[in-house]
Amino acid sequence: MNKQAKPKQTQHINRREFIKLSTNSVAVLAGGISAGNLFAARKSSQPKPKNIVLIFTDQQHIDTIAAGGCKHVRTPALDRLKKSGVSFTQSYTPNPLCSPARSAVFTGRTSSECGVHINGRSIRSDIPNMGQWFSQHTNFETFYAGKWHLPRTYTLDIPGFKVIHTGIGGFGYLCDTAMSRACESFLRNRSKSKPFLLVASFMQPHDICEWLRLNMENPERLRYPQLAGMLPELPANFNFDNNEPKDIKNRRLRNDPFRGKSKWDKEHWRYYRWSYYRNIEHLDAEIGRVLRTLEDSGYIDDTLIAFISDHGEGMGHHQMVRKNSFYDEASRVPLLFSWPGHISENKTEAFHLVSGLDLMPTLCDYAGVKPPVNMRGRSLRSILEGNVLSWGHTVVTEVSSNMGRMVRTQRYKYITYKDDPVEQLFDMIDDPGETKNLATGSKYASTLAEHRRMLKDWEARLDVAPNVQNTDAWWYKA
């Protein structure tokens, strides 16, 4: 469907849902209720954790936790974390690419506002990051270990943080081992008197990118015959739609499974999935070291733990690998919170739509400080503590050098790219594998129109950085 064509009105969103979306979601997204106002209404007597640990992973598919139902991995550490708190299943990255996602998570502003629409850019200087905000407005000491990527992947110089460890560019296995040891020692040796915010930013399971380059050629036979019969099955949505936006089509063809001398056979796809799960287990062991130290050292009861990944991994769904796509495998990420006695335990939150943009206001809320102005997300505290009355959140995600946008509402996912007439609309309840594009017919014209309008409203509120390309595409979208 041509996105400029006037869509025919239908009533696919029912009235109640429409009103809820219009009044809650868009109003909040567009600033009708600001995050600051929400905080102003909070009582100052709310309990505050003594410390905050933010565990950040890189390229972690949401379905990679055994306790969450993944049968292909052993993840005792993540299982423990999941059981001790709230895990979101409808949580989206603000941008399914490393630097842009990180800029948004660490500021609560979109990647286009931060000026980080591609990898390796710095956050705009007038937008504070979490470390700067916490060190200026709270009594938390702020520490950082591991991957940063804004702009440098690893650096001793991160504004607002004391960096306790860097890492090794592009080599998660070695990097995370040293990093988690640094965190372990930091926690063991530190005087317990002063509150801290520690970011433990792991590189894994990003090593799957190196795996892809070292296994691009389809082998004649399985390198380890003993794995035959042990490889995970292909996903149900392995096939792909030929009528996708160009960006997705091209991205798929540029990726390793389609670039070698011959296309991958199904066994190689399954071997790739098996290898990804082993990277997850490595990551889990390293996270386990940090969690075990928090427990051994007596921090656990006073510490809020937040866990998030920058983006997901294609994992063969739609025959995609890596990231940079709006399909759920790349854009939906694990998001967990734990604080014994304060946050609901062993709760899977499968209803509320949330975003990495919500992390900054959430941590500010728990630290007892107002977040910076113009937060694009909201504090998740009411959901975490089981007090939510109304949410109705809608999530907007950016991608591909600011070329693409995704709007996720309670039922639908809408995807559009600059200068591409092909839009996508998926019914995420009836078709969670995103296999039937509803944007191709007229039946969902009003739904499409509504989502386009939400996107337009959202974009109109943003303060996009001057260095960001393709901005005009979104301001004037009908």
Partner 1 sequence: MAQKNGTIVGSPLTPALLSQLSAIGEFIAAPEDFRPDGNWVSTYRIWTCHGFLETGNQNVGFLRIERTAGKANQPFMLKVRQEVVQADGLLHTLEAEIKCLNNQLSSPVQWHLRSNFLDPNRQNMHDLGTDERAVIDRNIINVRARDGHKFRREVGGPLTSDWCLFEAVQRLKFDKEPSLNFDMLEGLSLLKQGQRLSYSGAYPMKMSGKNVFLHRFDQLGDGILPYEYWLDNNHRLVAAVSMNKAYILDEQAEKTIRQRIEQLRKTYRKTKNAVRK
Q: Please, which residue, 55 or 367, has the CB nearer to partner 1?
A: 55
Residues from 344 through 373 that contact partner 1 (CB under 8 A): none
Indicate whether 160 belongs to the interface with partner 1 (CB under 8 A): no
Q: Between 49 and 88, how does the x/- string for binding to partner 1 read (CB under 8 A)?
A: -------------------------x--------------
Residues from 299 through 338 that contact partner 1 (CB under 8 A): none
Residue 149 half-sphere exposure toward CB, CA atoms < 13 A: 26
Rounded distance between C-alpha atoms, residue 404 and residue 111, angstroms: 12
Task: Give the residue, chosen from 9, 139, 192, 296, that forms a contact with partner 1 under the rule CB under 8 A.
Answer: 296
Q: Which residues of 277-315 are buried (b: 16+ CB within 10 A; e: fewer)?
A: bebbbbbbbbbbbbbebbeeeebbeebbbbbbbbbbbbb
Element (H, E) at 106: helix 98-107
Residue count at the site for partner 1 (CB under 8 A)? 58
> What are the angstrom distances between the C-alpha of 348 and each of 246, 383, 452?
36, 11, 31
- Angle, helices 130-137 vs 359-367, to 10°: value is 20
Task: Give the residue, chosen from 39, 140, 161, 186, that forms a contact with partner 1 under the rule CB under 8 A.
Answer: 186
Indicate whether 380 belongs to the interface with partner 1 (CB under 8 A): no
Paired tokens of 155: 């650096």
Greatest C-alpha distance within the chain: 65
Q: Say whether 105 sits in a helix, a strand or coil.
A: helix
Rounded distance between C-alpha atoms, residue 59 and residue 75, angstroms: 16
Rounded distance between C-alpha atoms, residue 130 and residue 137, angstroms: 10
Give the torsion sign (CA, 340, 341, 343, 348).
Answer: positive
Rounded distance between C-alpha atoms, residue 357 and residue 161, angstroms: 20
Indicate whether 209 belongs to the interface with partner 1 (CB under 8 A): yes
Indicate whether 178 belongs to the interface with partner 1 (CB under 8 A): yes
Q: Please, which residue, 255 or 471, has the CB nearer to partner 1?
A: 255
CA 85 to the chain's CA centroid = 18
Indicate whether 260 belongs to the interface with partner 1 (CB under 8 A): yes
Going by their DSSP bridges, the two strands 395-399 and 404-408 should be labelled as antiparallel
Task: Give the residue, chosen from 124, 268, 289, 381, that forms a contact with partner 1 under the rule CB under 8 A.
Answer: 289
Residue 221 CB, shortest distance to partner 1, in Å, is 13
Rounded distance between C-alpha atoms, residue 276 and residue 176, angstroms: 16
Task: Give the residue, chosen from 286, 310, 349, 423, that forms a contact with partner 1 under the rule CB under 8 A.
Answer: 286
Task: Give the residue, chosen from 213, 387, 429, 472, that forms a contact with partner 1 under the rule CB under 8 A.
Answer: 213
Task: Give the residue, chosen from 113, 284, 349, 423, that forms a contact with partner 1 under the rule CB under 8 A.
Answer: 284
Rounded distance between C-alpha atoms, residue 404 and residue 175, angstroms: 32
Task: Give the residue, chosen from 165, 206, 311, 452, that forms a contact with partner 1 under the rule CB under 8 A.
Answer: 165
Residue 174 CB, shortest distance to partner 1, in Å, is 6
Q: Which stretch binds partner 1 (CB under 8 A): 58-66, 90-98, 146-154, 465-473?
A: 146-154
Residue 238 CB, shortest distance to partner 1, in Å, is 23
Residue 292 CB, shortest distance to partner 1, in Å, is 8
Task: Give the residue, chosen from 5, 8, 9, 156, that forms a contact with partner 1 under the rule CB under 8 A.
Answer: 156
Residue 301 CB, shortest distance to partner 1, in Å, is 17
Residues that bind partner 1 (CB under 8 A): 74, 152-157, 164-171, 173-175, 177-178, 181-182, 184-186, 188-190, 207, 209-217, 219, 223-224, 226-227, 256, 259-260, 275, 278-279, 281-282, 284-286, 288-289, 296-297
